[in-house]
Amino acid sequence: MSSLFEYALLQAVPRVQRGESINVGIVLYSQDLDFLDARVHVDAARLRCLDQDIDVEAVREMLDAVCRACRGEGPAGATPLRQRFGWLTAPRSTVVRTGPIHTGKTDDPAADLLRLHTDLVL
């Protein structure tokens, strides 16, 4: 039986005031399947097309923090998955932000995370 899931794209926005972004990852959450995970990929050349001075390593560090929070590490790791997903997808005005939350149905959230990452990020 399929379960509901929610996901949001992670976007790098080198110059917030310009609003240009590149998809750099995805976070997927399924309450029914007790699943929260993220997949990320930073294409430095694409980011530098939007801002040649962007700190690519800082973007990678921010995305690594998202992945660690999904795995239950750090201060966010002590919170329930639902709360963690809400914190990860809360609006921010920073270089890394999340897009709108979308929903779907799945029997295998890890496979759907990989599929969405391939389709929307890579």
Tens of pLDDT, residues 7-47: 999 999 998 888 899 999 999 999 999 999 999 999 999 99
Residue 46's pLDDT is 95
For residue 4, what are the contacts with CB-CB under 8 A and spacing of at least 6? 30, 31, 32, 103, 104, 105, 106
Instruction: Give residue-wise pLDDT tens across range 84-112.
Output: 999 999 987 789 999 999 999 999 999 99
Residue 70's pLDDT is 95
Asked whether the whole model's pTM tops 0.85, one would answer yes
The amino acid present at 54, given as its one-letter code, is I
Average pLDDT across the chain, whole number: 94
Token readout for 2 is 């399929």
